Structure 1
Amino acid sequence: MADNEVEVEIPIEENGDNGDDQTMGEAEAEATAAPEDDPTGLENIEPAVPEHVTFLDCLRSPIVELVVGTGADATILSAHQGLLTSSPFFAEACAQFDERSQPRRIELPNDDLSATSSVLEYLYKGDYFPTITNQAMEYDSTVPHPDNEGVALLRHARVYILAKRLELPKLATLAHRKIHLTQSTAKGEIEYARFVYRETSAEDNIRRPVAQFWATRSHVLRHEAEQEFKRMCLEYPQFGFDVLSLVLDAQEKRSSRAEVVSSGTSSGRKRQRMI
């Protein structure tokens, strides 16, 4: 008869090997898990929404004084800083102010008062007088008739130049559009052309429409303002060259079309032989 087998139970200690294995597994899992503070790459999926600035917020902003002109001719205009800063030029100037800046003042010694007023009117209203209604300019009683001095054209031209300097492209576009809708005379157009060629660079797009205007109408307009046209060409030779170039381009195109019609084919221009 065999001996009775005795079963011996070995108690598992809580801090035994098995417990250690379990603890180590949990530690490794925690170590490999991404910390909550580490970036996951999902932070920028939804872009941040810029804070909406209302018109009321602009009206609550500090008042800034614009000193236009110098000496006894200087005029102080006031505007809210929140509206001025839509211009990068004014935004940079306002960045120099702090809580102790009293008054907040920006000097504009060389700017035109009327043009500066039109800029402020645009910043507050989104337009300036005279406005455009149904593709026509609002009546302006301050413009003489006939406008031989180019008063209306120069008003918008000065706004255009100032808008470019203040980095307000939409205002510059608006002023340019008003220039094209303004009625004037040949003498007024010459005054406008003189201002444009004096105040702008050769790269400015506003010059070409001026030269184009005179190139297409010079055969009529020069009889109305022949002496003024002559003085303009002598004072600004680039103006005369631009007009002449456009006239010659138009003449060359007409000649090319005439050659095509007469010959039935297009041919290059040949130099005449000397015999």
Structure 2
Amino acid sequence: MADPEITISEAAGDEEMAEVEAAEEILEEPTGGDEATGLEDIEPEMPERITFLDYLRSPIIQLIIGTGADSTTLSVHQALLIQSPHFAEAVSRFTDSAQARRIELPNDDLNATSSVLEYLYKSDYFPTLSGAQTMEYDPTVPSPDNDGVALLRHARVYTLAQRFGLPALSALAHKKIHLTQSTAKGEIAYARFVYRETSTEDEAIRKPVAAFWATRSHVLRHEAEQEFKRMCLEFPQFGFDVLSLVLDAQEKRSIRHEAASGGTASGRKRQRVSGVVP
């Protein structure tokens, strides 16, 4: 029996080819940037991790501390230094890659600046914290510390951290201040620095200084009376702050005493001056 003859019309073939070409155009058509594909959250973009090696590969910045023959040059990697907004702004001025990258700090303390750089590299500075409430031993601090060497060291770091925009470092220095042992004369030296170098609005460091002396009047009389007197004359704000705290404490004691005695005033009345002459 002869095989059946199969015929394909040209019209049908043309329709199939048109469908195939239309499908290929759809597949090749680029997806619009604003159209959601449903795949955005399958592989979230991971933030790039900055390693310590990346810091070490960054350019070297030279900090010139002091002026003239007394100046000292300290070198630091740029990627670490620009953690400070103060230095980041200074580095942004370097436009030429071949330009010597130097930042001058003519009025800053060398040891305090080196402590700031040590913190940028290690997240701490000497003497480092050896526990929540203890620091490592510092053999350079005299005993007794009548000059406030240890307190002043941390106070200078605190003020630099404030200026360089490093709040975590200023908090660390402030904590070390409260962990430091000193003498009455050393505390006066520290108080003088605080009231000379810090802003009047900086109660975080000023208020504890005033509170220290407001609660130690017996120390003032026996150990540092003359130093305290000179401090009050040199910085009247210090004397006012101390006096305010003393009066506040006295007022609170009076209120507690009146409450305990049933609200009756125990103070002696002031004698009224009469204008009538007998």
Query: Does the pair score TM above 0.5?
Result: yes
Deviation at 1:99, TM superposition (A): 4.9
Distance 1:256 1:48, change over 3 A: farther
Which of 196, 199, 202 pairs up with 2:200?
Answer: 202
Q: Name stretches of at least 5 consecutive residues in structure 2 with no aligned partner.
A: 1-10, 16-21
Which residue in the other structure is 2:31 paired with? 36
Give the whole-Å Cα distance in 2 for the aligned partners of 1:215 and 1:108. Answer: 37
Give the whole-Å Cα distance in 1 for the aligned partners of 2:238 and 2:104. Answer: 33
Distance 1:220 1:44, change over 3 A: farther
Give the whole-Å Cα distance in 1 for the aligned partners of 2:271 and 2:47. Answer: 72
Give the whole-Å Cα distance in 1 for the aligned partners of 2:161 and 2:78. Answer: 17
Deviation at 1:201, TM superposition (A): 1.2
Deviation at 1:56, TM superposition (A): 0.5
Which residue in the other structure is 1:56 paired with? 53
Q: Please give the secondary structure, in 1, of the residue aligned with 2:261.
A: helix
1:133 partner amino acid: S
Which residue in the other structure is 2:135 paired with? 137
Distance 1:173 1:47, change over 3 A: farther
Q: Which structure 2 residues correspond to residues 1-275 of structure 1 after superposition, within 5 A? A: 36-40=31-35, 49-134=46-131, 135-204=133-202, 205-263=204-262, 274=272
Deviation digits for residues 104-125 of structure 1, max 9, x if unmatched?
1111111110000000111111
Give the whole-Å Cα distance in 2 for the aligned partners of 1:118 and 1:159. Answer: 7
Give the whole-Å Cα distance in 1 for the aligned partners of 2:62 and 2:91. Answer: 11
Please report the RMSD computed on the Cα atoms of aligned residues, expressed in angstroms.
3.0
Give the whole-Å Cα distance in 1 for the aligned partners of 2:105 and 2:264. Answer: 58
Please say if residues 222 and 229 of structure 1, whose CA atoms lie closer than 8 Å, have aligned partners that are also in contact: no
Q: Please give the secondary structure, in 1, of the residue aligned with 2:63.
A: strand
2:164 partner amino acid: L
Compare 127-136 and 63-72 and name the one that shifted more: 127-136
Give the whole-Å Cα distance in 2 for the aligned partners of 1:172 and 1:153. Answer: 14
Q: Give the TM-score, by structure 1 length.
A: 0.81
Distance 1:47 1:157, change over 3 A: farther
Distance 1:43 1:147, change over 3 A: farther
Please say if residues 66 and 108 of structure 1, whose CA atoms lie closer than 8 Å, have aligned partners that are also in contact: yes
Aligned residues: 248
Please say if residues 131 and 137 of structure 1, whose CA atoms lie closer than 8 Å, have aligned partners that are also in contact: yes
Please say if residues 145 and 183 of structure 2, whose CA atoms lie closer than 8 Å, have aligned partners that are also in contact: yes
Distance 1:77 1:273, change over 3 A: same
Q: Name stretches of at least 5 consecutive residues in structure 1 with no aligned partner.
A: 1-12, 20-25
Identity among equivalent positions (%) equals 69
Deviation at 1:91, TM superposition (A): 1.2
Give the whole-Å Cα distance in 2 for the aligned partners of 1:260 and 1:223. Answer: 34
Deviation at 1:229, TM superposition (A): 0.2
Q: Give the TM-score, by structure 2 length.
A: 0.80
